[in-house]
Structure 1
Amino acid sequence: MRLVCLNAWGGTLHDALIPWLQAETADIFCLQEVIHSPGAAQNWLEYRDGAHVLPQRARMLDELRAALPGHVATFCPAATGVLWDGDRTVPSHWGLASVIRDTVPVIGQVQGFVHKSYSAAGFGAHPRSRPAHVFRIWDGGRPVVVAQMHGLRDPSAGKADTPERAAQAARLIALIDALREPGDGLIVCGDFNVEPDSETLTRLRALGLRELVSEGGFPGTRTARYTKPGRFADYLLVSDEIRVRRFDVLYQPEISDHCPLVLDF
């Protein structure tokens, strides 16, 4: 079975992203920063946060579903705010998507927030609401729990440990514990927005998980599109029950400012 974890950057590199996803043979896609603007009449909108302006693919969720026939997409919104079409605002949902091949039995799932709660009245001040999605699948003879999270972004603290990040890790672990049963394999992945020596990863390793990005000696998880210092953001951890056949961080082609994490297990 193959799992891909990727912060899709709101579809900013749509023309490269969609063909790559179509060609990829993954059974499970764990995607962060997915846009869903069901009322949009156009393909592109603009995200504006002060000086930070970024093109966003308006109907990204619909395009993911069309690009991945034979998969079922579960969308987990963090917030509903506005994107811009010139001087006009367009309501848009922003969050996670878990896209799972329809031949893979999903035998349980839980969705919740690891920081703040759902905001229907705008994206809000940083650090913003952050969801997680945890699902339990049947993988050829045993259950496997997969958890994905988009960790909070804190402009004032960078990627340093904070009480909010400690609470976020505790909430993620509580969501996992609510679904995982003894003997289940466990995979935890996402854009955590922390450093490799963070308290978040320490807490996850205490569950008996191996962190494959650091273990594999990869120099980071950001592509050349990301020009700031600090090359680590994305992680993938597995329990001993998961037999890893291959794990890779893909730096090419560039389909986001984050690298896809690819696990065959």
Structure 2
Amino acid sequence: MRLTCLNAWGGRMHAELSEWLAQDDPDILCIQEVVHVPAAPAPWLDYRDDGRNLPQRADMLADLAAALPRHDITFCPAARGPLWHGDTQVWSQWGLATLTRRGLPVTHQAQGFVHGTFGADGFGAHPRSRTGHALRLWRPEGAVVIAHMHGLRDPQAGKADTPARAAQAERLAGLVEAVRQPGDEVAICGDFNVLPGSETLRMLSRLAPRELVREGGHPGTRNSLYPKPERFADYMMVSEGLAVAGFDVLHSPEVSDHCPLVLTLA
């Protein structure tokens, strides 16, 4: 079984991402920065904030369904906010999604906010609301709980530890514990927006003590599309008993400014 985790960068590399996902064809896809505009007026819209004008793929749920047509999608919106089509404001939903290959027995799920609440009237000031999603997947080899989140962006604190980040880690752990049964293994992943050695990783390590990015000696999870010097943001944490057949951080092809994390289970 293969689990892929990726921050999709608002779909800015849509063509490359769609082609690669169809080839990768993961059993489980945990994907962050998903944009959904029902009845979008155009395939691309603009996100405008702090003088930036960033292109966003308008309906990534439809794009994901086209790339992985044999998967079911759970979308976890964190906020509803404005994008732009020229001078016209268009309301969008923004959050994360989990795709599971159709037919895999998902016996339990927990979805909720790891920070804030649903922002129905705009994205709000940073640090903005964030969701998490956990599911329990039955397998003959033993059930596994898979969870992911998109960690807080904090322009003031950068990637340093903060009380809000500690609280979000506790809430994500709570989602895992809400679906975990005795004997289940655990995989926790996502763009945590923290540094190696952070309090977030320490807190989650009680459920999943192996962090595979650093354990594998990978130099980071950012690629050439990300200009800043800090190279770590994304993590894959697993419990000691989870049988890992392989793990990689893919720097090529570039399908986002984050590298996909690909975990293969025995």
TM bracket, shorter-chain basis: over 0.9
Deviation, 1:133, is 0.3
- Given the alignment of the two structures, is residue 35 of structure 1 paired with residue 32 of structure 2, yes or no? no
Which residue pairs with 1:161 in the alignment? 161
List runs of 5+ in structure 1 lacking aligned partners: none
Which residue pairs with 1:228 in the alignment? 228
**Count of matched residue positions in the alignment of Structure 1 and Structure 2:** 265
- Given the alignment of the two structures, is residue 83 of structure 1 paired with residue 83 of structure 2, yes or no? yes
Residue by residue over 1:209-258, the C-alpha shift from the partner in whole angstroms, topping out at 9 and shown as x without a partner, is 20000101101001111001210000000112210000000000100000
Single out whichever of 137-146 and 27-36 deviates more from structure 2.
Answer: 137-146
When residues 208 and 59 of structure 1 are mapped into structure 2, their CA distance, relative to the original with a 3 A threshold, is closer
Residue by residue over 1:180-236, the C-alpha shift from the partner in whole angstroms, topping out at 9 and shown as x without a partner, is 111001000000000011000011112352000010110100111100121000000
Which residue pairs with 1:196 in the alignment? 196
Which residue pairs with 2:187 in the alignment? 187
Q: Tell me the percent identity.
A: 60
Hey, what's the Cα distance between the residues in 2 that align with 1:196 and 1:111? 26
Which residue pairs with 1:207 in the alignment? 207
- Given the alignment of the two structures, is residue 62 of structure 1 paired with residue 62 of structure 2, yes or no? yes
Which amino acid is 1:69 matched to? P
- Given the alignment of the two structures, is residue 178 of structure 1 paired with residue 178 of structure 2, yes or no? yes
- Given the alignment of the two structures, is residue 116 of structure 1 paired with residue 116 of structure 2, yes or no? yes
- What is the TM-score with the length of structure 1 in the denominator? 0.98
- Root-mean-square deviation (CA, aligned residues, Å) is 0.9
Hey, what's the Cα distance between the residues in 2 that align with 1:62 and 1:206? 37
Which amino acid is 2:59 matched to? R
Kept after mapping to 1: 8 A contact 2:186/2:207: no
Hey, what's the Cα distance between the residues in 2 that align with 1:129 and 1:217? 32
Which residue pairs with 1:149 in the alignment? 149
Which residue pairs with 1:26 in the alignment? 26
Hey, what's the Cα distance between the residues in 2 that align with 1:51 and 1:156? 18
Hey, what's the Cα distance between the residues in 2 that align with 1:42 and 1:2? 33
Question: Which secondary structure state, in structure 1, belongs to the residue aligned with residue 138 of structure 2?
Answer: strand
Hey, what's the Cα distance between the residues in 2 that align with 1:181 and 1:140? 15
Hey, what's the Cα distance between the residues in 1 that align with 2:71 and 2:182? 28
Hey, what's the Cα distance between the residues in 2 that align with 1:208 and 1:77? 25
Hey, what's the Cα distance between the residues in 2 that align with 1:42 and 1:14? 14
Which residue pairs with 1:216 in the alignment? 216
Kept after mapping to 2: 8 A contact 1:250/1:259: yes
Residue by residue over 1:109-147, the C-alpha shift from the partner in whole angstroms, topping out at 9 and shown as x without a partner, is 010001111111111100000000000011224211000
Kept after mapping to 1: 8 A contact 2:2/2:28: yes
Kept after mapping to 1: 8 A contact 2:46/2:53: yes
Deviation, 1:15, is 1.2
Hey, what's the Cα distance between the residues in 1 that align with 2:54 and 2:4? 24
Which residue pairs with 2:46 in the alignment? 46
